[in-house]
Structure 1
Amino acid sequence: MSLTRRQVAGAALVTAAAVPLTFGTAHAGEHRRRTVFIAGDSTAAQKYADAAPETGWGMALPFFLHRQLDVANHAVNGRSSKSFVDEGRLAALLAAVRPGDLLLIQFAHNDEKTEDPTRYTEPWTTYQDHLRLYIEGARSRGARPVLATAVERRRFDAEGNARPSHGEYPAAMRALAAQERVALLDIQALSLELWQSLGVEETKKYFNWTATEQDNTHFNPPGAIEVARLVARELLRARVLRVRDVRRLGDAIPESWISWPDAVA
């Protein structure tokens, strides 16, 4: 089922007239800090002390952005493009967005769950429909939406070839980005290339493999740092950010910079 434009606007709680994109200041002559908002799932989300060493790439993104850019990580474990909207999380995020901000949008892992109607979306219809809610919501507030294809899981075939796991969702997002003229960060393709270059054994050092868990979806600090580096490089390549907005793209980032706060009660 396709959503109408009126449904799109209502779901995103858009009440103000569209504001022209301003990738600088909120008002003439008034400088303000810009914020990079993240809407996504557990691969990007903030993790807490009880989940360490599991690490979302959104936790490492600030290491690659200059200090004048803030990061507001709204990604939450287990959410799809649909459930994030249905739970009111997109509306809450948009309420904080200001002209000149960025909204990074990465979903697919949970949209793929055909057995769960609260999360499942079909790639070429409801998935694209829900992504439009984020795009139009950001634009209505004078912010810039940026689509990011879902980072790949750690999957290899018997010959040691890294295999894609997201079906038609990356292609559907690429097509939507072209239709809507939205910047695209192809993290799916880049992460698959990275896992291939690292190989079967070396990739274990980037995922949440511990003595008690063999997790091929979520990252540890090194993995989150490298995926965040991919995101920052893509933001620069796509001309979403400028050279002065990024830093340390070629530097080693110490794992000790990652921290896991206590969970909020």
Structure 2
Amino acid sequence: MLSISKFLGLVGLVTPATSSPTHAKRAPTIYLAGDSTMARGGGGGNTATDGWGNFFPYSVSLPVVNKAIGGRSARSFTVEGRFDEITRLVQPNDIVIIEFGHNDGGSLSSSDNGRTACPGAGSETCKSVYNGQQVTVLTYPAYLINAGRALTAKGAKVIISSPTPNNPWEGGGFVYSPSRFTTYSKSAAASIGSNAFFVDHGQYTANIFQSFGKQRVDSFFPNDHTHTSPAGADTVSRAFVKGLLCAGGSFLSGSIKNSTGSVEGNCI
């Protein structure tokens, strides 16, 4: 019969299994930050319009979280803490697509709507009064750069997108001129650094709209010249995908379901 001391010694020789279960590698999440042209329901929350972000999940194999909300600008998205919310949520290698521009213009001299950015392409600031409070307003690119740097500091990748065009056939003939927010978006991506990328969504969308012709494109805008029908939103989403594919997929390389040739339009 073994003594207690010998028994305990033998027990000590038995080494429990130390291998831990293998955990599947976490798939990155895509977050969308933008205005009504990207948001679910588009410009009215009814079935007549929808934002392109609602169709984007069909083109990628990664989960998509649409944080876009109607009526927002880069400034108001910042002030309301919506960029902060996404920054808290992101994990390394997540991708955040940022697209504003439709609500960021206007003037601060008459009245401040809480959305207008300070004019300028850099670090200029403006003093304004909003809701009875003195506020400091930054430029459009400054809001994007601040958000992008906070996100990339968490290990996320950022795609800055130019705003989608209003109906370029509205006047009878096709007219599209990129706004200053396209230039600002491109410069912001460059300022954020190697973990940011620019997609000229506006130009890719305009090119497809031109090829479709007036009648078809007019049908994409049931209420006004900005907000698209679901069919229009689907086309605008595909235009964004085209921009990614033409750049080799950017941070979404290997996660895009479409082939370059399967999406309308040409690479620019």
Letter in 1 for 2:145: R
Contact kept? 2:99, 2:160, Cα under 8 Å: yes
Q: 2:185 maps to which residue?
A: 173
- Pairing 1:200-219 to 2, within 5 Å after superposition: 200-207=214-221, 209=222, 214-219=223-228
Q: 2:92 maps to which residue?
A: 99
- Kindly indicate whether residue 138 of structure 2 is the aligned counterpart of residue 124 of structure 1: no
Q: 2:125 maps to which residue?
A: none
Contact kept? 1:60, 1:228, Cα under 8 Å: yes
- Runs (5+) with no aligned partner, structure 1: 1-27, 253-265
- Aligned partners of 1:242 and 1:180: how far apart in 2? 18
- The offset of 1:236, in angstroms, is 3.2
Number of aligned residues? 217
- CA deviation map 1:112-142 (0-9, x unaligned): 1335441111251411110112211110110
Normalised TM-score (structure 1):
0.74
- Aligned partners of 1:196 and 1:123: how far apart in 2? 31
Letter in 1 for 2:181: Y
Q: 1:142 maps to which residue?
A: 155
- CA deviation map 1:197-242 (0-9, x unaligned): 22222202222x1xxxx32101111111111112223233333245
1:53–1:107 distance in 2 versus 1, CA, 3 Å: same
Q: 2:239 maps to which residue?
A: 230
- Aligned partners of 1:108 and 1:251: how far apart in 2? 25
| Alignment counterpart, residue 83 of structure 1, candidates 72, 76, 79 | 76
- Aligned partners of 1:33 and 1:73: how far apart in 2? 17
- Runs (5+) with no aligned partner, structure 2: 1-21, 123-138
Superposed CA RMSD: 2.4
Contact kept? 1:63, 1:248, Cα under 8 Å: no
| Alignment counterpart, residue 200 of structure 2, candidates 163, 175, 186 | 186
- The offset of 1:53, in angstroms, is 2.2
SS of 1:217's equivalent in the other structure is coil
Contact kept? 1:123, 1:172, Cα under 8 Å: no
Letter in 2 for 1:98: Q
- The offset of 1:163, in angstroms, is 2.6
Letter in 2 for 1:187: H
Runs of 4+ in 1 over 6 A off after TM superposition: none
- The offset of 1:159, in angstroms, is 6.0
1:169–1:219 distance in 2 versus 1, CA, 3 Å: same
* Larger-Rg structure: 2
- Aligned partners of 2:97 and 2:241: how far apart in 1? 11
- Aligned partners of 2:233 and 2:171: how far apart in 1? 26
- Aligned partners of 1:50 and 1:161: how far apart in 2? 28
Percentage of identical aligned residues: 27
